[in-house]
Structure 1
Amino acid sequence: MSEISQLSPQPVWQFFDKICSIPHPSKHEDQLAQFIVDWATAEGLSVKRDDIGNVIIKKPATSGMENRKGVVLQAHIDMVPQKNENTDHDFTVDPIRPYIDGEWVTADGTTLGADNGMGMATCLAVLAATDIEHGPLEVLLTIDEEAGMTGAFGLKEGWLDGEILLNTDSEQEGEIYMGCAGGVDTAIDFTLERETLGEGYVGKTLQIKGLKGGHSGVDIHTGRANANKLLGRFLAGHAEELGLRLLSIRGGTLRNAIPREAFADLAVPTENTDKLAALFSHFEALLQQELGAVETSIALAVLDLNIEEQALTSDVQNRIIATINACPNGVIRMSDDIKGVVETSLNLGVITTEENTMTLLCLIRSLDDSGRSYVESMLRSLSTLAGSEVTFSGAYPGWKPNPDSEIMHVFRDTYKDIYGRIPDIMVIHAGLECGLFKEPYPNMDMISFGPTIKFPHSPDEKVNIATVGLFWEQMIAMLKAIPVKA
């Protein structure tokens, strides 16, 4: 057990420490899911996995609470696998290495997985507790939330009995969420044509690193730079001037994370190598001037490269560079109804190159289906102009706020009783699974809350220690305050 297991509240941190020790990136949750199933079985709890792989655990009401409405505590099992370039870590094999950094817990060179491991640990700690008052209780742990919400999509009616769902996937203590954005994945595919280079070229790699990255929903309005867009900007401005011949581009790793790094392998005429280095150095200084207040560690470099493949034809190269440079990115529109909340956004999250294909992966988020459709139409038009193919997949609905939510009022009043103030009632510009749960369980009353987590989906991810204690305190008080069945 690591040092974090001694933090308070100890039951929560001990479970989180164990979660960190078992690899569980998206698509690779089975080892952790099996541990949870085995643990619940040993505890004498009713546990099962549904056809898609979600884990559902049931615990009877404590004495005197049998007449309360049933509650579902919900978290997702998987975590976002992001690491720094110089960190040697295999998320499918290696444990996360958490450590205490002042008032926070963070990880050594990787994402921490507090999103949503801290919520999952809290759910398990409630199940393990013998001194918490609660009505009929269920815990739903879904799979693959970060990479497609497969578990939420696959959840069927009839598996859950509760009337209330408490989602633990929020990331700011003192805020309660009662709505979220929907989204859709977008792939723009280019068929590559290549040709042999003539004499007089040398290979170079343009490298952009050191950006903060972050969550493409909750961080999209913060002014953080997108490495893919920065690379496209440079190439659009200088590829023709320098006679560059593009070999490949790669940038970002997840469509729901703002890309921190991007790379372009290219061939440059020998006589232009010094000019390329000078222009890229000038571009770095320009970005530091433009973005330095937000991006404090921007690092650009030109590296030597052995040319081992043919270059893209000029036509394909020009269309790709133009598309990356012209692709919308960031906040598209702020909400008119909810002050300070992003309504619609787009993240150009990943660029990959295979021998014959280059793919741009984007994630559109919107509180409004019409806003999502508008951005889809923009990308469709851009793809038409570029001569590429665009496909949309994995669309998930938003979670429409219900101002009459009973459980929202219970949480608000309970929070006020504890702390003497009313929590902020929010709608989040990120995809929570609650919108999907409304399909099989349309009458379920839902809210989302959690401890303070900064920089999720990036290696800078950290969770505030004190707010974990507040979150635990709120969870205990909420379960005690659940209304009586009608």
Structure 2
Amino acid sequence: MSELTQLFPQPLWQWFAQICAIPHPSKHEQALSLHIQQWAKDKGLSVIEDKVGNLIIKKPAFAGMEDRKKVVLQAHLDMVPQKNADKVHNFETDPIEAYIDGDWVKAKGTTLGSDNGIGMASALAILGSDSIKHGPLEVLLTIDEEAGMTGAFGLEAGMLEAEILINTDSEQEGEIYMGCAGGVDGQISLPMSWQSPEQSNSSFNLTLSGLKGGHSGVNIHLGRGNANKLLARFLFDYADDLALELVSFSGGSLRNAIPREASISFMLPPENLTALNQAIADFQALVREELAIADPGMLLTLVEVPAHTKVMGEDSQNTLIDLLHVCPNGVIRMSDEVEGVTETSLNVGVISTHDDSVEILCLIRSLIDSGRSEVTGMITALTHLAGADVEFSGAYPGWKPDTSSPVMAIVRETYNDIYHKDPTVMVIHAGLECGLFKEPYPAMDMVSIGPTIRYPHSPDEMVNITTVGQYWQLLLAVLERIPVRG
């Protein structure tokens, strides 16, 4: 990754190359955390690891700026671990293989981790500089943002002294974020009964792949295919006519990523194989036509496998298919207040089959608490009808927009001065940690900025090199303009 370290700004890209070299998927950030802690201590900086594993690093002000308001730069340590099916990669042990493609940095067959590795790299680069002008500075690096926001939930009052927080987890240059969605996980558990299969039946696996996937918040409005929902639709349309005996259903890997792949195992009367192949061809053509613009690459692959010894009971199979097919997914409602922004959504993210149940993991997001409650109510009612159980957990609040925010005004004016155009002030349909930080630090003034990142949470993730430079220039200029303490 030496080519990355020559990009502008060099200090940022040098840190990003180090971050890529140290595995740090959600729940496994300790190696990267220890590396940063040792570096900070070697630099003579104050570094604290709190009770849950967040890092807080403090740096004195640049000479002459000691009277400025204290600022905390915030990023998260973890990255989303997603890879293509044909990519051999262990996120807990293998480095990310980043490379330059034109004006973009990408990764070979995996997520890149620019979400939020670029923001983390920018904060560390500022900590390591002796020439960047800033007032008293803190850097907060949280754990487990992508898999439950454990770090943000665990941040205690009194750990930070700053009056202003700059979150670096936004993904579009030219946009300033002043609010975000809240969310909650929903886990549906459908009991399973099993029976012996028809002895003459053949066994197959059918895999649906080729979809774009992406972030289940910021990409949810793009109309991309959800592998779980599409495969459930196939079963709803054809399972009865083909006399399929379902063995398992699995799909997706993260509740906050739009599932790109899903598969089913089943048994089938041999005389129905021709009809099955025709159904696969018809369904693939139909979906490709429907998603010709949003997600045209869907592929169905059928493979014969050794015979299974048990299949789902008829009632269990029918209930599962109906439940998956009718379960809401995607955009539930667009915002009336913020044009073009999703208000409420649901992602049917992960499906897994177990000995006694099929588990369905969803993520519900909304800019408003009532929207989130409405969808949890819909899911609860649906599970009642299906005879399933549902448990909601990990609820986190949204970040309510503050149009009078002083730091937002500074960022907006600074952007205009540098680029001679106004940035767009936005609310993002994603779970930035700012809403949780408002609990222990209700008076903290917050804003979120970042470079342009495309397709986060998928192996197509990429970050635009030019916008990283623009983000860096904006961040440094904002730090220099932070006002004196009142």
Displacement after TM superposition at 1:281 (Å): 1.0
Q: Distance in 2 between matches of 1:324 and 1:287?
A: 17
Displacement after TM superposition at 1:2 (Å): 3.0
User: Could you say what the CA RMSD is over the residues aligned between the two structures, in angstroms?
Assistant: 0.7
Query: What is the SS of the residue equivalent to 1:260?
Result: coil
Displacement after TM superposition at 1:309 (Å): 3.7
Q: What is residue 232 of structure 1 aligned with on the other side? A: 232
Q: What is residue 307 of structure 1 aligned with on the other side? A: 307
User: What one-letter code is carried by the residue in structure 2 that aligns with 1:178?
Assistant: M
Whether the 8 Å CA contact 1:20–1:95 is kept in 2: the answer is: yes
Q: Distance in 2 between matches of 1:309 and 1:220?
A: 39
The answer on 1:192 being equivalent to 2:192 is: yes
Q: Distance in 2 between matches of 1:171 and 1:198?
A: 52
Query: What is the SS of the residue equivalent to 1:162?
Result: coil
Q: Distance in 1 between matches of 2:97 and 2:410?
A: 37
Matches within 5 A, 1:366-385: 366-385=366-385
Whether the 8 Å CA contact 2:197–2:309 is kept in 1: the answer is: no
Displacement after TM superposition at 1:308 (Å): 3.2
User: What one-letter code is carried by the residue in structure 2 that aligns with 1:326?
Assistant: V
User: What one-letter code is carried by the residue in structure 2 that aligns with 1:162?
Assistant: A
Matches within 5 A, 1:66-465: 66-465=66-465
Q: Give identity over the alignment, percent.
A: 59
Which has the larger displacement, 141-150 or 416-425?
A: 416-425
Q: Distance in 1 between matches of 2:292 and 2:353?
A: 30
Query: What is the SS of the residue equivalent to 1:221?
Result: helix
Q: What is residue 60 of structure 2 aligned with on the other side? A: 60
Whether the 8 Å CA contact 1:182–1:430 is kept in 2: the answer is: yes
User: What one-letter code is carried by the residue in structure 2 that aligns with 1:338?
Assistant: V
Q: Distance in 2 between matches of 1:84 and 1:165?
A: 36
Whether the 8 Å CA contact 1:319–1:386 is kept in 2: the answer is: yes
**Scaled by the length of structure 1, what TM-score is found?**
0.99
CA distances 1:388-433 after superposition (whole Å, capped 9, x unpaired)? 0011000000000001100000111111111111110000000000
User: What one-letter code is carried by the residue in structure 2 that aligns with 1:406?
Assistant: P
Which residues of structure 1 form unaligned runs of 5+? Answer: none
Q: Distance in 1 between matches of 2:193 and 2:2?
A: 52
Q: Distance in 2 between matches of 1:363 and 1:222?
A: 17
Question: Any runs of at least 4 consecutive aligned residues in structure 1 with deviations exceeding 3 A, and if so which?
Answer: none
Query: What is the SS of the residue equivalent to 1:249?
Result: strand
User: What one-letter code is carried by the residue in structure 1 that aligns with 2:306?
Assistant: N
Q: Distance in 1 between matches of 2:235 and 2:265?
A: 11
Displacement after TM superposition at 1:152 (Å): 0.1
Whether the 8 Å CA contact 1:2–1:98 is kept in 2: the answer is: no
Displacement after TM superposition at 1:71 (Å): 0.2
User: What one-letter code is carried by the residue in structure 1 that aligns with 2:24?
Assistant: H
Q: Distance in 2 between matches of 1:346 and 1:294?
A: 18
User: What one-letter code is carried by the residue in structure 2 that aligns with 1:298?
Assistant: M
Which residues of structure 2 form unaligned runs of 5+? Answer: none
Query: What is the SS of the residue equivalent to 2:290?
Result: helix
Q: Distance in 1 between matches of 2:320 and 2:103?
A: 45
Whether the 8 Å CA contact 1:246–1:266 is kept in 2: the answer is: yes
Query: What is the SS of the residue equivalent to 1:410?
Result: helix
Query: What is the SS of the residue equivalent to 2:23?
Result: coil
Whether the 8 Å CA contact 1:54–1:140 is kept in 2: the answer is: yes
Displacement after TM superposition at 1:356 (Å): 1.7
Q: What is residue 20 of structure 1 aligned with on the other side? A: 20
Equivalenced residue count is 486
User: What one-letter code is carried by the residue in structure 2 that aligns with 1:25?
Assistant: P
Query: What is the SS of the residue equivalent to 1:66?
Result: coil
Displacement after TM superposition at 1:198 (Å): 2.4
Whether the 8 Å CA contact 1:247–1:309 is kept in 2: the answer is: no
